[in-house]
Amino acid sequence: MTQLSADVAEKLARIELLCLDVDGVLTDGKLYYTSNGEELKAFYTQDGSALKRLQANQVTLAIISGRSSAMVRRRAAELGIVHLYEGSEDKLPALRELSSITGIDVANMAHVGDDIADIALFEAVGCALSVADAHPEVRARADWVASLPGGKGAVRELADAIVLHKNAAARAEHSG
C-alpha cells in the first residue's frame, strides 16, 4: 500500500460513511449494450468483498450515481447498500439528504469519484478519493488517488486503506 501523509491517514480514520460513484468507480466506466438494447455492467468482485468488510467495520455505504440502472440496484442489494441515489446529475442534494437521514456529518464522509460531477462532492465531504484513471481535475482535487483504475480494484484499495487506518486509530486511542 502507498505510504499516506498523516493528514490523509487521519481523514481515512474518521470516515463513517463512504459514498461511491458507479460508472468509472465500481465499473470500468464502459457501457455495454446487448442487441436487445439491454445495458450490461461488470463489477469487480474484490471491490464487493472489500465493501462488505467496510460495513463489518461500522462504515455505512452509499451510492450516488448520475445514471439509473437495474444492474446498479441489483449490485447495491447484493452488497446490502440501502442508501442508493440514481439519476443524480447534481449529486450535492443527494449528499445533503444522506447526511440528514443517517445523522452523519459530511466531515465524516468520503466520496470516491472519477469525473467532473464528483468535484462538488469532493468539496463537501471530509475526504475526497479518486481512482487512478479519473479525469485529471478530479485527481488533482482528491485527497488520495488509488493506484488502480475504476472497476479494477481501486475500490478495494481504498476500502482496505480505510479499514487499516480506522483500526490503527482505534488501537492508538485504546492504548493511550
The span from the CA of 62 to the CA of 150, in Å, is 17
Predicted confidence (pLDDT) per residue in 71-90, tens digit: 999 999 999 999 999 997 88
Given a cut of 70, is residue 53 above it in pLDDT?
A: yes
Confidence (pLDDT) at 176: 61
pTM of the predicted protein model: 0.94
Is domain 6-175 in CATH 3.40.50.720, yes or no? no
Q: Is 67 exposed, middle or buried (0-12, 13-18, 19+ CB in 10 A)?
A: middle
Contacts for 3 with CB less than 8 Å, ≥ 6 apart: none
- List the chain domain ranges: 6-175
Given a cut of 60, is residue 1 above it in pLDDT?
A: no
Confidence (pLDDT) at 2: 63
